[in-house]
Amino acid sequence: MATAAASSASEPEPEPKAAARAEGEEDEVTVARTRRKVLSRAVAAATYKTMGPGWEQEEEGVSDSDADEYAMASSAESSPGDYEWEYDEEEEKNQLEIERLEEQLSINIYDYNCHVDLIRLLRLEGELTKVRMARQKMSEIFPLTEELWLEWLHDEISMAVDGLDREHVYELFEKAVKDYICPNIWLEYGQYSVGGIGQKGGLEKVRSVFERALSSVGLHMTKGLAIWEAYREFESAIVEAARPIAGFLSPFDREQTFDSQLEKIHSLFRRQLAIPLYDMEATFAEYEEWSEDPVPESVVQSYNKALQQLEKYKPYEESLLQAEAPRLAEYQAYIDFEMKIGDPARIQLIFERALVENCLVPDLWIRYSQYLDRQLKVKDLVLSVHSRAVRNCPWTVALWSRYLLAMERHGVDHGEISVTFEKALSAGFIQATDYVEIWQTYLDYLRRRVDFRQDSSKELEELRSTFTRALEYLQQEVEERFSESGDPSCMIMQNWARIEARLCNNMQKARELWDSIMTKGNAKYANMWLEYYNLERAHGDTQHCRKALHRAVQCTSDYPEHVCEVLLTMERTEGTLEDWDVAVQKTETRLARVKEQRMKAAEKEAALAQQEEEKVEQRKRVRAEKKALKKKKKPRGADKPREEEDEKEWGDADGEQPAKRRRVENSVAPAGVDPGTEEESALTRKHTTMDVETPSKQKEKAAALKRDMPKVSHDSSKDSITVFLSNLPYSMGEPEVKLRPLFEACGEVAEIRPIFSNRGDFRGYCYVEFKDEKSALQALELDRKNVEGRPMFVSPCVDKSKNPDFKVFRYSTALEKHKLFISGLPFSCTKEELEDICKVHGTVKDLRLVTNRAGKPKGLAYVEYENESQASQAVMKMDGMTIKENIIKVAISNPPQRKVPEKPEARKALGGPMVPRQMYGARGKGRTQLALLPRALQRPTTGTAQAENGPAPCPAAATSAASEAPKMSNADFAKLLLRK
């Protein structure tokens, strides 16, 4: 690297051939050439200042234009081009859009996408001043991504013309490196600081930036190498620039200047080789080539140790390289590994790397801040991480609460804590209970500031006024937004009452607060009265205790017996005889009234149950009457000749499977024709219909062919390369032909096996077998794809008998704060129409319209946003909106728990008989279910059941007989059925 830097400073550069390079490549070459030239000149100037006036520069000095040349080169790739509009209408359209975005931000300043769009349009229009202001406003609220920071920095570098502008760029770099730990930003910072090396203190500034970059991202396994190489190249360039004059210096001056500079490079090599980084072998080889002396043994040992550590880290780094963003699971595993090792610097780095891609995951911020609070306890680092956490996820109340606690823990000024609390109130939480939690955290902080040994103090008055403000805020602001205060049990008022009673000895104020609590609908709960009683017991007097319990006996409706027992216990130990008599009378009267109310409720419930049973019996009678009426209308003996004929025909089949007969047109003999003639005509018709096949005959023939196809049992060993399709249209003709092109897009299809019934009808499901497992996994993405008007269900092929706990349902059933549930949609609303409405409030990652099995919409939808903030804003804006004359309801997605089917083992443990599920159909033994098994073939389920011609045999005999009975043929089954 050093020789390369030296050659770039002295050798003439060949002129590029314009015809041999593309325009983009020419720009890259120009930028790289300019950076090298400026770096060499800047290093030469720094060396001149270091060596003193005794050294004559071989190169020209660095002028102001040369210093700014690097700034222009570094921003060449990102500086906006000169756009020429063909129509003024498009420019006006952009201006109108800018005005709309500015108005939107004035309403909701936390709209992240609105900030990004506004900056993009202003930059496109060339409004440099407005762009700078828009970026500053956004950076005050949100941390900017690496791309946004680099774009901003390149724009500012291109506009920097003097030292003041350079200082402004330095300030921007300092802000950028605080938002996220990004190696690319640190590299840009170091290279830009080289451009100011000619200024006072420029050399120290460059080294300071590079040292901070190494401490921040130098341990980065994949990207830290670039920082080390840039720093080493900078120091090597200084050495090469000073080499020509080294021979003219005195030994003392040479040791002070040239040799000390060489030692800096040796130190960088040794430091880098002691850290596990990718491509360490190349760095070690470069050190051996660069160093004139052999590599010290201590350096070799450190290098070998780092190589061993690298092998331990490689699996985690490779999993990150192979996975797709945001790689949260891979980062979590990496963090767990680093936590076991316990190196604080590496733990901090892996957390920062994970947060770059998962900055909107509150749990990751909570885990990181918790580690810093409990382990490192460094004030600046802890507060910086907490501040970044609430800027990334302002909708998460747990982050704000932890931030306030951390500020109190590290002794931050009270005014700053109050300002942070006010920011938390305006963050836009998505639940009413979140506001209760943040208020409680702040009130706890204020309570800890009060010295209760004094009767009155400024802190105590502030605490009381804040309690009052909290109650007003929950009653007005929160109830107006969520239609609830979020504090139904009045926990804030309870805490206030405890403080007044225990710490301020103001029991009168505590009683007033408890009166307010009871008037808010809490008087019917026994636990609330007992809480008040315990407070009076500890800090009040017996008279108020007795009064509270007497009121509790009259008002409590959930557990009055418990309250009565407490009252009697108190009077038994402390009361007079008169007090005891009054307590007994009131408790007996109250309990008698409660008993009467419960009996009435039970009678009402029993009456309703009896009415329901009567309705069921009435429906059964009506059904029986209809069945009897049908039997009366049917002529007697009509089916007897047919039964005898069927018995004769099936009995002579000699065990062959009887074909199912279907009724066809004109199958009934006309009047006046004898049976013999009818048989002849039937034979004649049979031969006649063989010549001309109607469409129905063709369909029956195709069904017969499918019926005669050999049945292939599924091979469970191929489950990993097979998917199961269901909910397909029953009318689908030739499913294999129609489904093959659809699934061949996922990979090579080995076989498609549609399932047909015994009549040859398609049953709506089939198996698709692939050549490899990757294709099968890709085919699962076709789930819910519309096929001939129905959503096709694609699921893994899993044997439920071997894996009873396997769940095919792929959607989450837990609370998802970034996803919305919309109900009340018109059935005619399409996915595109709803997406256009939802994307106004944020980035829509996924949108799903809920349909039934036939593909018809149910008026429900799930909309997934990029983060919780966008989802909360969409709830506030869209709830109650009218779409096509339908008023929709919008809420955070919190679906009910899915019922887990009862396992067979559980049913057996309960003592019930193990009845096969197939006997009762898919929904159990309902009254409308038909038993498809003939009654003649059904076995008795109990030992006391009567057989057809006598008592049932004992269970043992039945078991032995069943085990030894010969197998019956189809003709035997037919005889049993006809005999019945």
Structural domain contains residue 694 = no
644 has pLDDT over 60? no
Q: Across 309-313, 832-836, 873-877, which has the greatest mean pLDDT?
A: 309-313
What range defines the domain where residue 379 resides?
A: 323-412
The mean pLDDT of 374-387, rounded to a whole number, is 93
pLDDT-wise least confident of 203-207, 260-264, 529-533: 260-264
Which of 257-261, 663-667, 685-689, 749-753 is most confident?
Answer: 749-753
Are residues 842 and 876 part of one domain?
yes
| Tokens read off for 672 | 């006046």
481 located within any domain:
no
pLDDT of residue 2: 36
Residue 761 lies in a domain: yes
Instruction: Please name which of 377, 381, 334, 383 lies closest in space to residue 357, comparing C-alpha atoms.
Output: 334
pLDDT at 388: 92
pLDDT at residue 895, rounded to an integer:
76
Domain membership of residue 180 (yes or no) is: yes
Region of poorest pLDDT, from 481-490, 908-917, 967-976? 908-917
Same domain flag for 242 and 256 = yes
Report the mean per-residue pLDDT for the chain: 78
d(CA 625, CA 613): 18
The reported pLDDT for the residue numbered 28 is 44
Q: What is the average pLDDT across 797-820?
A: 71
CA nearest 368: which of 378, 360, 354?
354
- Judge whether 943 and 955 are in contact, CB under 8 Å: yes
Q: What is the reported pLDDT for 180?
A: 83
**pLDDT classification of 201: cutoffs 50, 70, 90:** confident
Query: Which one of 285, 313, 341 terminates a domain?
Result: 313
Is there a single domain that holds both residue 339 and residue 327? yes
DSSP 478-528: IHHHHSS-S-TT-HHHHHHHHIIIIIS--HHHHHHHHHHHIIIIITT-HHH
Q: For residue 957, which of 947, 967, 972 has the smallest C-alpha distance?
A: 947
Give the residue from 892, 921, 939 where a domain finishes.
892
Please check whether residue 226 lies inside any domain of the structure: yes
Has residue 39 been placed in a domain? no
Q: Strand 762-770 relative to strand 889-893: parallel, antiparallel, unpaired? A: unpaired
Average pLDDT over residues 245-264: 71
DSSP-assigned letter for residue 903: P
Of 796, 828, 860, the residue that ends a domain is 796
Tell me the percentage of the chain whose pLDDT exceeds 90: 41
State whether 789 and 843 are in the same domain: no
Compute the C-alpha angle 918/922/924, nearest 5°: 80
Tens digit of each residue's pLDDT (9 = 90 or more) over 606-635: 999 999 999 999 999 999 988 888 888 766
Domain with residue 367: its CATH number is 1.25.40.10
Query: CA 75, 81, 82 angle in degrees (round to 5)?
Result: 140
CA distance 512 to 522: 15
Q: Is residue 578 part of a domain?
A: yes
Residue 552 forms part of a structural domain: yes
Q: Are residues 283 and 354 in the same domain?
A: no
Nearest to 113 by CA among 323, 360, 421, 381: 360
- Give how many domains the chain has, as a whole number: 7
Sign of CA dihedral 599, 601, 604, 605: negative
Instruction: Kindly tell me if the per-residue pLDDT of 931 is higher than 60.
Output: no
Q: Is the peptide bond before 344 cis (omega within 30 degrees of 0)?
A: no
Residue 252 and residue 172 in one domain: no
pLDDT at 811: 66
Domain shared by 767 and 850, yes or no = no
Distance CA 524, CA 514 (A): 14
DSSP string, 594-640: HHHHHHHHHHHHHHHHHHHHHHHHHHHHHHHHHHHHHHHHSPTTSSH
